[in-house]
Amino acid sequence: MTNTNRLINETSPYLLQHAHNPVDWYPWGDEALERAKQEDKPIIVSIGYAACHWCHVMERESFEDQQTAVLMNRYFICIKVDREERPDLDHFFMDALQATSGQGGWPLNMFLTSDAMPFYGGTYFPPQRLHNRISWKELLVHIHEAYQKRREEIEQQAGNLIEHLRKSNDTKVIASDRLGVQQNNGFTQAHASKIFNNIMGTADQVEGGFGRAPKFPQSYSIQYLLRYHFFTGNQDALRQAELSLKKMMHGGIYDQLGGGFCRYSTDGEWLAPHFEKMTYDNALLLLVLSEAFQLTGDKDYLRVAEETVGFMQREMMDAAGGFYAALDADSEGVEGKFYTWTRKAFDEVLGHDAVPMAELFDVTTDGNWEHVNILRMKKGVEEWAVAVGLSPDKAMDCMARAKEKLMAIRSSRIRPATDDKVILGWNALFNQALSKAGQAFGKDDWIALAETNMAFLLQNFYNTKSGQYLHTHKAGVSRYPAFLDDIAYLIQSLLFLYEPTGNTAYLEKARALMDYAMEQFNDEDQLFFYYTPAFQEDMPVRKKDMYDGAIPSGNSIMAWNLYRLGLLFDQQDWIKRATSMLQTLLDLAVKYPTSYGIWANLLLELSQGTHEILIVGDNAFSKTKVLLAHYIPNKVFMATETAGQHYPLMEGRLANGDANIFVCHNYSCSLPFASVEETLEHLLTRR
């Protein structure tokens, strides 16, 4: 029987991957921390995630090696952490690593004192010294000897690091010492224009996207450009947004057969992705595809949206209605092997269709990447059809037939591993994407899917005994306290889901969750929010996250939520708090919009003003469906077919006869419009 360590009792796929290592791994918790104190040993905290390529490499090279395990077990208490289960620990130790070394990434390997204070760290370490990079075994010996001989110096260094992390988390310092406080709360067109210019300053106007390789989708920046175009008519904004989306949709970062986007591209032209697929990336890109379609009507966005939702339903959804976290980048120990094709294999599958399809998908004899081919479309379907002499209809039929054949063969390959834990926040992001995409593309079944998923989330992520929300769910068990982004995204998804359904229970739940957030996450000034809840006691520093990275920061989404809920419930103190949060970060949002994209989008809306739209009367929901299919990014919305709903926007609005549409600002409304067309014409004159 194979020996196992304590990780065998965990549910995380990442931790279970290490359960048979000879390293005496512990999960993070009291047992490991107490043993470190009792035996007076330093701690190794090694953090990764199931879809992390270099995490797998270091495991094979070092953590499965008996000699390495002997050193780790003899000199250290060893703790494994799944960064997706415990993002709070990941944030804290990543901050510590970046403060001490200036680097970051995964695997994240941090050394702690026996009192659990970090003092040294790094990312990947090779098994033997490589290009002046110390080996993992050498490092273990050096750290052990230093801890024995220079213990007092190390503990002082760790104490200084903790104090630095506390100070760097002080929003008062962020607001005043580093930036200078603005004297008013005005968010103007001038601010919006500066943000646009700063985004375009990083834009790749040939291959799309922003910055150089590796390239990430940066969906918030694309969203900003779409909205900036909508408000100003600026054609450069629309051109760059569409260029970025089309290059991704047609590139290797997008799975041309199965749908869904990979994490990022390793090159500048979106050919070679890091092949892991994350639920949150597909959620954020589906949201932006929906806005691009509303703005342009381009059916290519519809095709990719349908394929992406199809991928999520087929490969990432469990029977109960939750969406899994991720698909691994590797299969059979090789990154991307599941997705790539040799020209020979491609030809064998497609037969007489191989030549035109090879032209479409850039499949060559020598391969377009490491002697194999990543499927991508260097030409649009219409341009390709002309090149190979096919009519548009025949071209689409040919492509569909070829993709079906290729998928059948690919499905028989050994699949990448699925990280099948369900994360509250990531599900909430995909839930809101389903709501928005359902409205934009007229897909009622996607809205119904969002409702099914929401029922699953509300049932499985709330502990009725403790009154606490939880972060992850797997095999019928929910674990770990929910973090700020979990709650923030859930509130936002409830507000999104209310719009197409008209179910006020979603509004009421969003309001109740805001009360929960204020109770558990408020900072001392009741301005920003901590990442961890007040009852959680195992973090040395309670972090306040402002940066919009791979996923939006909890604070930026909370500002959006406060503003929306403030308008819907006439809570002026919530509106004031939202604007004060943004005001504190105004300079950062303007100067670095690609890093503060949600803040930048909120600023853009506040510079334009928000429409309060209300539909009241018979057929309200049929008019709702028509209205919500249109692009109105700066709105709050309510609809009812009956009188008597006690919401501020509805006060004094009678439900007599066919539905009327009211457009209001600060609760002062225009004369009612009888049709959606009249309403849209009015809105266009006021944008």
Average pLDDT, the chain: 93
What is the total residue count of the chain? Answer: 687
Q: Which CATH class is domain 611-686?
A: alpha beta
Task: Calculate what percentage of the chain has a pLDDT beyond 90.
Answer: 83
Question: Per DSSP, what are the bridge partners of residue 334?
Answer: 331
- With helix as H, strand as E and coil as C, how does 432-468 read? HHHHHHHHHHCCHHHHHHHHHHHHHHHHHCEECCCCE
**Average pLDDT value for residue range 535-539:** 86
Number of helical (H) and strand (E) elements in the chain, helices listed first: 27, 19
Residue 131 banded pLDDT, cuts 50, 70, 90: confident
Minimum mean pLDDT range among 49-63, 521-535, 572-586, 643-657:
643-657
CA atoms within 13 A on the CB side of 361: 32
Half-sphere exposure of 641 (CA within 13 A, CB side): 10
Alpha carbon separation from 407 to 100, 282, 326, 330, 375 (Å, rounded): 47, 20, 20, 18, 12
CA of residue 133 relative to chain centroid, distance: 32
Question: What does the pLDDT look like over 609-618, one tens digit per residue?
Answer: 999 999 999 9
Q: What is the pLDDT of residue 416?
A: 95
Q: Do domains 6-168 and 611-686 have the same CATH topology?
A: yes
As beta bridge partners, residue 323 has 317
Give the pLDDT score at 333.
Answer: 86
Instruction: Let me know: does 127 contact 61? Beta carbons within 8 Å.
Output: yes
Can you tell me which residue has the tokens 């834990």? 421
SS (H, E, C) 194-214: HHHHHHHHCECCCCCCECCCC
Measured distance CA(94)–CA(121) in Å, rounded: 9
Q: What are phi and psi of 502, to 5 degrees?
A: 70, 10
* Closest alpha carbon to 224 in 199, 244, 204, 249: 199
Half-sphere exposure of residue 421, counting CA atoms within 13 Å on the CB side? 28
Specify the CATH class of 6-168 in words: alpha beta
What pLDDT score was predicted for residue 390?
A: 86
Give the chain's largest Cα–Cα span.
85
For residues 514 and 512, what is the distance between their CA atoms, to the nearest angstrom? 5
pLDDT beyond 90 at 103: no
User: Token pair 């075994």 is at which residue?
Assistant: 137
Burial 667-678 (b: 16+ CB within 10 A, else e): eebeebbeebee
pLDDT value, residue 244: 98
C-alpha to C-alpha distance for 507 and 472, rounded to whole angstroms = 24
Residue with tokens 């491609």: 346
DSSP secondary structure string for all residues of 560-576: HHHHHHHHHHT-HHHHH
Looking at residue 173, its pLDDT comes to 44
For residue 559, give the 3-state DSSP assignment: helix
Q: What is the pLDDT of residue 392?
A: 85
pLDDT for 177: 34
Amino acid sitting at position 270: W
Which structure tokens are listed for 670? 């225009």
The pLDDT value recorded for residue 140 is 96
**Beta pairing class for 468-474 and 334-335:** unpaired
Q: Which of 115, 92, 98 is nearest to 166 (CA)?
A: 92
- List the Cα angle 330/332/334 in 5-degree steps: 50
**Lookup result for tokens 């109960």:** 320
* pLDDT on residue 402: 95
For residue 638, the cross-strand partners are 614
Q: Is residue 2 pLDDT above 70, yes or no?
A: no
Task: Give the DSSP H or E segment for 26.
Answer: strand 25-27
- 126 preceded by cis ω (within 30°)? no
Q: What is the pLDDT of residue 393?
A: 86
Query: What are the tens digits of pLDDT across the range 641-683?
Result: 887 678 988 887 777 788 999 999 877 788 899 999 999 999 8
Q: What is the pLDDT of residue 132?
A: 78
Q: ∠ CA(488), CA(490), CA(492), 5° rounding?
A: 70
Radius of gyration of the chain from Cα atoms?
26
* 3-state secondary structure at position 534: coil
Assessment of whether the complete model's pTM goes beyond 0.95: no
* Contact assessment for residue 154 and residue 146, using Cβ atoms and an 8 Å cutoff: yes
Label residues 149-166 b or e (16+ Cβ within 10 Å = b): eeeeebbebbeebbeebe
User: Which residue is listed with tokens 């691994």?
Assistant: 328
Contact 403, 257 (CB under 8 A): yes
In the Cβ-directed half-sphere of 87, how many Cα atoms lie within 13 Å?
A: 24
Task: Name the 3-class secondary structure at 334.
Answer: strand
pLDDT digits (tens, 9 = 90+) for 45-90: 999 998 888 899 999 999 999 999 999 999 999 999 999 999 999 9
Q: Where are the domains of the chain?
A: 6-168, 343-410, 611-686
Condensed to tens digits (0 to 9), the pLDDT of residues 393-435 reads 888 889 999 999 999 999 999 999 999 999 999 999 999 999 9
pLDDT for the residue 686: 66
